[in-house]
Amino acid sequence: MNIIAGYRCIRCGTRYPADLRLDTRGCPKCLETCPSNLRPLYPGRSNSLADTNNHAGKSLWQYASRLPSFAGGIVSLGEGLTPLVPAGRIGQTLGVPHLFIKDESRNPTWSHKDRFSTVVVSAALSQGAKVVATASSGNAGASLAAYAAKAGLECIVVTFAGAAGAMISQIRAYGASVFPMARKTDRWALLEKAADQLGWFVTSPYHHPVIGSHPIGIEGYKTLAYEIVDQSDDLPDWCILPVCYGDALTGICAGFQELLEMGRISRVPRLVAAEVHGSLSAALESGCDKIEEQEQSFKTVAVSIGTTRSTYQALKALRDTGGCAVRVSNDEIRSMQGMLAAKEGIFAELASVAPLVAVQRLRERQVIAQNDRVVAIVTASGLKDLDISIEAPRREKPFVSVEDAWKRAFERTKADESA
């Protein structure tokens, strides 16, 4: 069993006991110089990916031998095992014919956050928590609410004005309480007070500077790497993700590194962060560990990755894999969302198409070679932020007769044939 034996700082390597209070400040030694997240330590772990206990059937828990074990059992909705889809049509357009999309919209709540929630809610249940809580603009809150409902726990999602309406409706549908704050930064003050005085199990960051989310939950993102390797004939050269605080980036990096240590792969793919305001790009250029706040030069439509300051854990994943970060704009994102849907039949959330914009940019700069194998992680469904992605619904004028409709159909077909 993978009982957590303690934690290790991912920056300085200092080890801490298993009963350390994880209050999202991270490593006490690194706090003043460069706040850094922790990773769980497991004693005597198996060198296999197979689940010898047959925990959870068709879900990411088929990799339970590499995930934490919990006395209270596993809270699962059948998450993970999402398809790795060949995306040759859009790949040809972008100049990368060997392009694949890891479609995370196929998860139970239609986003990659379910990989985090299944693990972190299992941990909360095992620790006797009654309330789980998060600060979220949407996907993390919806996911946590669903898994809390499955576990019979109360869920609080502290959000802010401007969060996508569809996601707020989804959160409420799962029975969670939504606390919208007029000032975005007030979310953390509320969560800190509730964690201290009410014993809430808080899964998201609630201190500044941010180090990332709960380290136990981040372990769930390792399964992205396991699945990509299991689903691929050849190991990809690049894996590209939309990045805010880098939880999924950190997890997938850890997963690939474990596979390397196990001898399952001969190298680790280079990771790329598609970001909005450029804090990781600036840190990579400066060579410093500390992530600096960036100016918010525009209001992004990719709300879920709109931070002006990422984390050391994200920076470390990029450095460890020889990766890079690419800034993306609103116009590029909107255009790419439509292109992906029209060419590949995948309607993705605005932030989720940012990796494809990064692919295009890196190919234009010849950083990605034409024959490189590239996996873009599309993290959530386009139904999540319809109120942001579509300014106003287009109202088609009704056809008054079959003849009018036939004329339009004929013209459209002939235009397609000549294109």
Average pLDDT over residues 178-182: 85
pLDDT tens digits, residue range 106-160? Answer: 999 999 999 999 999 999 999 999 999 999 878 999 999 999 999 999 999 998 7
For residues 337 and 389, is the Cβ–Cβ distance under 8 A? yes
Query: CA–CA separation, 349 vs 47, rounded Å?
Result: 36
| Cα–Cα distance for residue pair 390/334, rounded to 1 Å | 9
Based on the structure, what is the number of domains in the chain?
1
**Domain assignment of residue 255, yes or no:** yes
Residue 16 lies in a domain: no
Map tokens 């013209």 to a residue: 411
* pLDDT in the model for residue 222: 98
Q: Which of 24-28, 51-55, 339-343, 364-368 is predicted with the least confidence, judged by mean pLDDT? A: 51-55
pLDDT tens sequence across 16-47: 999 888 877 899 999 999 999 999 999 877 67
Residue 225: how many CB atoms within 10 A of its CB?
Answer: 26
The answer to the question of residue 304 being in a domain is: yes
pLDDT in tens, 2-12: 889 999 999 99
CATH number for the domain spanning 281: value is 3.40.50.1100
Residue among 290, 345, 356, 403 at smallest CA distance from 95: 356
Q: CA–CA separation, 214 vs 109, rounded Å? A: 20
Residue 419: band (very low, low, confident or very high) from pLDDT cuts 50, 70, 90:
low
* Residue 102 domain flag: yes
On whether residue 399 sits in a domain, the answer given is no
- In terms of Cβ atoms closer than 10 Å to its own Cβ (0-12, 13-18, 19+), residue 198 is exposed
Q: What is the mean pLDDT of residues 356-373?
A: 98
For residue 172, the Cα-to-chain-centroid distance in whole angstroms is 21
Asked if residues 81 and 227 have their Cβ atoms less than 8 Å apart, the reply is yes
E-state strands within 266-361: 270-275, 324-327
387-397 tens-digit pLDDT: 676 654 455 56
Q: Locate tokens 């305001």: which residue?
A: 277
- Asked if residue 71 belongs to a domain, the reply is no
* Those residues with Cβ within 8 angstroms of residue 148's Cβ, 6 or more apart along the chain or in another chain: 121, 132, 154, 155, 174, 176
| pTM attached to this predicted model | 0.93
And the tokens for 368?
């990605």
Q: What is the mean pLDDT of residues 329-352?
A: 97
- β-bridge partners, 178: 157
* 119: enclosing H helix or E strand: helix 113-126
Q: Is residue 134 in some structural domain?
A: no
End-to-end CA distance of the chain: 59
Range of the domain at 269: 84-110+217-389
Other Cβ atoms within 10 Å of 382 Cβ, number: 23
CA of residue 352 relative to chain centroid, distance = 9
The answer to whether residues 311 and 261 touch, using CB atoms and an 8 Å cutoff, is no
Percent of the chain, pLDDT > 70? 92
Quote the distance between the C-alpha of residue 74 and its chain's center: 21
Instruction: Kindly state whether residue 306 falls inside one of the protein's structural domains.
Output: yes
